[in-house]
Amino acid sequence: MNDLKVVFMGTPDFSVPVLEMLIKNTNVLGVVTQPDKPVGRTGKISISPVKELALSYNIKVFQPERIKNDYKDILDLNPDIIITCAYGQMIPMEVLDFPRLGCINVHASLLPYHRGGAPIHRAIINGDSKSGITIMYMGAGMDSGDIISQREVDILDSDTAESLFDKLSILGSELLKDTLPSIIEGTNDRIKQDETKATYSYNIKPEDEIIDFNKTKREVFNQIRGLNSWPVAYTYLDGKRLKVWLARIGDSNKDGEIGEIINIYKDGIGIKTLDGEIVLTLIQPEGKKKMNVLDYLNGLGEKKKELIGKRVG
């Protein structure tokens, strides 16, 4: 594969293991990533993890504001194949149709389920028991191209979006490495997706971050895990935002109104849900760093007793 001429398109940390594998095993002619952007209060310019890796290997980097209007430099490289992984823009057909081996995508779900930009978050939030990686040909529709290969992983109760990101990013690089030889040789599968089974996992919106304790304890538990470590689920306590990083499903059936703090444990705060209790264990009060609930309660001293009966949300 070392003589395979590749252009890679990707942006976040998730894409880095795939690019690293390609650098070691193919001839990466160039990397396409999202434009640099200012972050934080200072407005310091931040470059993408993919750009950082590419520059460390002296690989050409392209950062079109809108790739649909600015792709000539990419085609001038004359790649055999274009490989994308969490790039972040829709790619025009002029680019998709150009390479002799096509354009393929490394997608973090078992397509046709969870097409779209937030498949990892949504898989956990939805309570899925499995996720995985799909290597697919790219087409005009969003994540609707023919499937080449897939590999699955279990989603555990201990998983968060962050831990599943890590698992799938490594799995993506491994599956792509195993799949590329068949693409080069023309012996790979090309399986049409079943459109009747397609589901969509659109990017997380601000309203998705707010915890709704009117849901079941399992649903709240999944939401908290599915938004850790970005953008993080939150509620309000005493009118101040309280981010919730981790929680566990409680056993208490104590009476109370939904959203009411019904129990104080050594490791958490029990809140009434539709069908029981969710126990918040790792939180971040407004203006403070994240902390174990034990430390938070110790900071309250005797006032922690006053939490019982308070409403959150």
Q: What is the DSSP string of 90-121?
A: PPPHHHHT-STT-EEEEESS-TTTTBSS-HHH
∠212-213-216 over CA atoms, to 5°? Answer: 105
List strand residue ranges (DSSP E) for the chain, in order. Answer: 5-10, 27-32, 37-39, 44-46, 60-62, 81-85, 103-107, 130-137, 147-154, 233-237, 240-249, 261-264, 269-273, 276-285, 291-292
- Between strands 261-264 and 269-273, the pairing is antiparallel
Q: Which residue has the tokens 């389920």?
A: 113
Tell me what pLDDT residue 218 has.
98
Tell me what pLDDT residue 73 has.
95
Tell me what pLDDT residue 1 has.
85
Q: Do the two domains 5-197 and 206-307 of this chain adopt the same fold?
A: no
Q: 302 versus 263: which is more confidently predicted?
A: 263
- Range with lowest mean pLDDT among 16-30, 227-241, 294-308: 294-308
Mean pLDDT on 285-299: 95
Phi-psi region of 116 (alpha: psi -120 to 50; beta: other; left: phi over 0): left
Q: Which amino acid is at 89?
A: Q
Tell me what pLDDT residue 42 has.
75
Q: Does domain 5-197 have CATH number 3.40.50.170?
A: yes
Looking at the chain, the whole-number percentage of residues with pLDDT higher than 90 is: 93
In this predicted structure, the answer to whether residue 160 has a pLDDT above a threshold of 90 is: yes
Can the peptide bond before residue 229 be classed as cis, meaning omega within 30 degrees of 0? yes
Q: At 141, is the pLDDT very low, low, confident or very high (cuts 50, 70, 90)? A: confident
Secondary element (H or E) of residue 74: helix 72-75
Tell me what pLDDT residue 305 has.
87
Could you state, in order of their start, the residue ranges of all structural domains in the chain? 5-197, 206-307
CATH architecture of 206-307: Roll (3.10)
Mean pLDDT on 219-246: 97
Tell me what pLDDT residue 44 has.
83
The β-bridge partners of 6 are 28, 81
What confidence tens digit (pLDDT) does each residue in 241-250 have? 999 999 999 9
Mean pLDDT on 106-134: 98
Q: Kindly state the tokens that stand for 214.
A: 């009117």
What confidence tens digit (pLDDT) does each residue in 49-100 have? 999 999 999 999 999 999 999 999 999 999 999 999 999 999 999 999 999 9
Tell me what pLDDT residue 106 has.
98
Tell me what pLDDT residue 39 has.
78
Decide: pTM greater than 0.75.
Answer: yes
Q: At 254, is the pLDDT very low, low, confident or very high (cuts 50, 70, 90)? A: very high
Tell me what pLDDT residue 19 has.
98
Looking at the chain, the whole-number percentage of residues with pLDDT higher than 70 is: 100
